[in-house]
Amino acid sequence: MRQKGCQGMTNRDGNIRTDFKDEMTYSEYLHLDKLLDAQQGLSGHHDETLFIIIHQVSELWMKLILHELRAAVRHIDQDDLQPAFKQLARVSKIQEQIIKAWDVLATMTPAEYMGFRDALGNASGFQSYQYRLIEFALGYKTAHVLKIYEKDEDLHSGLVAAYNAPGLYDTAIRKLSRSGFAINSSVLNRRTDDSYGPDDSVKSAWKTVYRNTETYWELYQLAEKLVDIEDWMQQWRFRHMKTVERIIGFKTGTGGSSGVGYLKKVLDQSFFPELWAIRTEL
């Protein structure tokens, strides 16, 4: 009966390809053999597979975030904002997906996690280099984290280059300047190997944009896209923190960080401070 049903489908859809001896398949295109073989746990515990997949999926999403952020920076630098808006909006949607991934990981109980935690050694999500690249791209930079990646020279050199490069907000501020706003030279010429700090000239420029949205519609859109990204980033961090607290409480992280204490501290970091400050003053 099952074969008959399949034959009926083939008859109705006669153009379906079934001979792939000389053609590329879906699995080959996606390299599924490598992708689906990459969940090699160390403990034999049932729930280690969940832990690995959630983190691998998050890393794939982060790869796409970086892909979109880099493209958006290029477009903003070229004064071509419309494609940048699409890319930044996509980043926000990706962030939403990563947040939902924490909901799945939160189904793991403390007892289940302790069944394989020792197998992780000192490996920790704190060491995610793509997460660091996202922080660097958004303008938050701390030199001490670079030491974590010295084991891999190519990776370390790539991170150092990203650390020293202008971030998304630097690019947006330069766009403000090119649009006729008086931005302090200390901001335009600042060393980009340090975290961005608030500046009155930048706040004044954004305030003017928000008070004259019809005149500066594209800059207004850019500002709101940036606010979206920081909003989702903070929700991502909060969901991460609460998931960790739910599973391990206030234990020290496997990588040596203070765990929940550290994650709570980073919630106070702001990437685009003037865009939040002006809301009180408008």
Binding-site residue numbers for heme are 240
Determine if residue 160 is left, alpha or beta; phi over 0 gives left, psi from -120 to 50 gives alpha, anything else beta: alpha
Residue positions in the annotated binding site for substrate? 51-55, 113, 117, 254
Q: Give CA–CA dist 87/1, Å, rounded.
A: 49
Contact 137, 66 (CB under 8 A): yes
**DSSP character for 252?**
P
Residue type, 98: I
Record the tokens describing residue 184, joined without a space. Answer: 């302090």
Residue positions in the annotated binding site? 51-55, 113, 117, 240, 254
Q: Is 114 helix (H, G, I), strand (E, B) or coil?
A: helix
Contact 92, 228 (CB under 8 A): yes
Q: Give CA–CA dist 72/56, Å, rounded.
A: 24
Helix ranges restricted to H, the chain: 2-12, 26-30, 32-35, 48-77, 81-105, 110-114, 129-137, 153-164, 168-178, 185-188, 200-211, 217-248, 260-266, 273-281
Estimate to the nearest angstrom the gap between the alpha carbon of 62 and the chain centroid. Answer: 4
Residues 235, 258, 241: CA angle, nearest 5 degrees? 20
**DSSP character for 119?**
G
Q: Give CA–CA dist 147/153, Å, rounded.
A: 11
Residue whose token pair is 């999403």: 61
